[in-house]
A = this chain, B = another copy of it.
């Protein structure tokens, strides 16, 4: 694997902290007995944020790790793994 830079790590952590906060926000909405539709809109926003982090990781993985594997001759394995995870993401 091509290690992430500290800048990449910081950005990902920042986003995930925000997502964690959003999940806590939904807990609060449940406790406050807020309207279902408002909660659902919020859950939808969290899913979009997670999808974005996922694509970010996927993009980096493809352009660094998979590319490296292809150059080193283990591309087939690496691409199969990539496709499997993409299938999961598209469900």
Contacts and interface: CB of A to CB of B under 8 A. Distances in A.
A47 B44 contact: no
Contacts of A35: 1
Most interface-central of A4, A59, A80 (chain B CB within 10 A): A59
Given A9-B30, A23-B16, A33-B3, A76 B57 contact: no
Contact of A51 (B13, B83, B90): B90
A88 B48 CA distance: 10
Q: How many copies does the complex hold?
A: 4
Interface of A is mostly: helix
Contacts of A83: 55, 58-59, 62
Nearest to A76: B63
B50 A88 contact: no
**Which 9 A-B residue pairs are closest in the complex by CB-CB distance?**
A36-B61, A70-B70, A90-B90, A44-B88, A20-B23, A16-B27, A63-B79, A43-B54, A40-B85
